[in-house]
Structure 1
Amino acid sequence: MGRDSDTLVTLMAEGALSDADARLASDVARAAGAEPLGWDWIDRGCALDLRLRGGLDLRLRGGGGLRAALEDAFEAVDVIVQPARAQRRRSLLVADMDSTMITCECIDELADYAGLKPQVAAITEAAMRGELDFADALHARVKLLAGMPVETLDACRLARVRLTPGATRLVRTMRGWGAQTLLVSGGFTAFAEPVAAEIGFAEVRANVLLHENGRLTGEVAEPIVDAATKRAALLGAGVPAAEALAVGDGANDIPMIEAAGLGIAFHAKPRAAAAADAAIRFGDLRTLLWAQGVGRGDWVG
């Protein structure tokens, strides 16, 4: 495939795609100056690849204007535009946790136990949009949790934390072909370590909440895990960045998304979506397997 074309467009929508959608995507690509070469189903009705030659500036994230044109042409269809590769399966996955591998923001759920959720959630949202420095926002939120019993952490995790659909399949399938998998979270080890174990990540890095006499002190151990830590984890994994897949949802994830060969914004804030190669807006984490050309028959878990 890589010898025949220079660009690959993947359309993904659970049980909602047809050959007519492939023809429409071909027309949109042709209008953008590319030459459609045909399409192939990854999973019929769910995911297909459109092969293209020429006309695209892939130096721009997501293939320039083609991604936007395709997203405008379809309802509830996720679109990835990437250079064609002989081997699409990535050798490294670096993932955010909150609102990416799990469906919630852990610190907001902790705050809910303390009756402080509105105050903490407002700081979280501002930080995710990139309006606040991450470290300052983290310290401000953690300070509000001072005095909380340590056992509340486990109680909150068990009651509130749910895995994002497709998380286990994504991680275990990638590990099955030998990829490194790393969960790097600006959240807390009390959540990230059990979550990583449940999903199947080989490594995990997150912030440590400090406590004394069984209660949180309102402080977090230094150095904190932040955007720079995430990017450094990707670049220091011993795998070429071009072989890496990074996924996250907030401003704190942008540096690792930009560093990865394939950077994915998952149900993300606008700044993260604009920085990524693709923005998954509708599907779950199984879309990241389709993005790598992997159909259901090769999924694990």
Structure 2
Amino acid sequence: MSKKGSVVEFDQNWQTRKEAQYNHWIKGQPQNQIQLAFHNHYKVFSEFLKKDGILSGKCLEVGCGRGSISSHFAEHGYSCTLLDSSQSVLETAKHIFTNNGHEAVFVHGDANELAIADETFDIVVSIGLLEHFEDINKPIREQVRILKPGGRFFGYIVPERTDNIQQNFHWLNRILSELSKLANSEEKIRAKQPIYRSDFGSPRYLEAIKDLPVNNVETFGMYPLPMISHSPDFPFSLMPPPLELALTKIFDLSLYVRYSLLKQNPWICQEEIGQAFLLTFRKNNTYLDSYGT
């Protein structure tokens, strides 16, 4: 499989899997665990943007897929551009945005070589993108290049890990997988294409940005909950709606308890525990900010 973004494998999955049609944005209360996840991703991002004073402006999602996080930005008044290497999933994203009543610009492009002018966007965000590249320097440098001075970068990174919270729930997903096979014994289920995913933790990414013109760098874990499914590999398969709703309510309660105990955003956790970690920073405002005097 390709270590340069798994472009072919992603495109095949987007074209052939029913999961590609999932809409992970909802205006009201989340009805499944992935809607809950994106709802909480945006809460974390919005806390940074409020502190930055970036309450409007232009937002680019690189490797957008269905554009789930961009739907949240669009709902809150940001001008969104969605970029992906798969034309198929861009068509899906257009359909989802239309159904959600959101507007955006859709661009077919390569994260390693963005055909976008310097200093164009106030926010650059990616969800589950950078871990699919063995050479992370190129896509990160490209995203910094097109970020406006003072702009905010969000890289939500999902490394290959065996020791996070998910390790305690593999047994449950195996049971669900066997039950799914029994329930669909006469249905031929198309296999998911394997996707390259690195095991790089935050130190590797911090090394990659050390010479870039950025400041206010932070990394921390996110998503301190298990992902429960008969088929959790990308693209993640949801369970039947009643089960998803029940699980979402349990997860909501768990997050409430975390908040009560920790008195901080309960979606934030130690990197070693979370399903993912966030790399976030601002681009320097001036040349002197970048290199000093």
Bin for the TM-score computed over the shorter chain: 0.3 to 0.5
Calculate the TM-score normalised by the size of structure 2: 0.35
Greater Rg over alpha carbons, structure = 1
Structure with the bigger percentage of strand? 1
